[in-house]
Structure 1
């Protein structure tokens, strides 16, 4: 069987070998959920930036620009980091440049992998099926919160590990632990994750609708990956 492991923070990614692995980057609240929502609802492609200013400059090249820091829309940006902002299809056909507090940093630190996928609950099963067709070891890279462990990304990791168990075995304790946690609480994602620190931060901003979307399973049958040009695209 192939192996699956979990990196709980970008601060730990240097401890893992990325070569010849599929890396699944996950930032449930909200970057990777927003990316999946945007591409499923008409955004042509997404260019991910770790740096705020570099992303802001893409407006001059005709990109829609989305910027978030500390849960809020960054000054000078058209969009923040809300998945529900894309559900109407209003931005269909546009290219999006995006930078966030945690998720786009994790994408940048995942470069060097065989392939980078974007993980979110709304396209979980599609991602599982795609991975199982590739016959590669998998590393789940949790964006966390400013270098720290968080519950929502780690629980998604557990869902992915559990869903891959017919083809991939846990190669370390973190993957095993998160699989067991998802098995125990996965039937009540919203109830369990309402206790998570970042969920509470977002609730303080009044965006419960975003949280509901981010914790909805299998809305879309799309896979999101980084292509050879550096754009996130749906396949």
Structure 2
């Protein structure tokens, strides 16, 4: 079965509220593995648990749309490259080694990506507590920091660079320790609400957008051009 994404060779990226994901007709904790259910049960706050479950459901829905199969047919696993444990780390589909997946969740909003090429996604709320402060100086290159500090809204400018860099971590091109050595200052910081911005960074396609309905900044990166799709039931 050939899907539209396969025809275009584009990784799929979806952003939705956690509540919308869990209202999807295919959603449910029955999709989760025993390890995932155990992790979900350890959250002290119900909101954190909901976001975790929604993120792990959404990545299955995204991959299911890519492959043209029911979400229930997919098993999601994780493995940490540092310690080898299976309760955290980069997600993958053991039964579909040719498919790459990524997920992210923040308060009430989740994002996921799936493709036949490496893909990384990150989502963060635009309304955040605190300020950029020492965090920006630790994770931004000097030229990036100068642009952020000169921006009309430095916190929002930092958030844009942050989701970009987090997406690089998700795709395996960076770590928290190396973020400050990656310079993305040539990319524009001004991303209009609802208007995705496409750019290139080295060999990667970068897709930035602001989701005003969620109050969130989103970034997706892949070796192919990512494509935003809506959360809809399979048809």
TM range (shorter): under 0.3
Q: Which structure carries more helix by proportion?
A: 1
TM-score of the superposed pair, with normalisation by structure 1 = 0.27
Higher relative contact order, structure no. (Cα contacts within 8 Å, ≥ 6 residues apart): 1
Length-normalised TM-score, structure 2? 0.27
Question: Which one has the largest radius of gyration?
Answer: 2
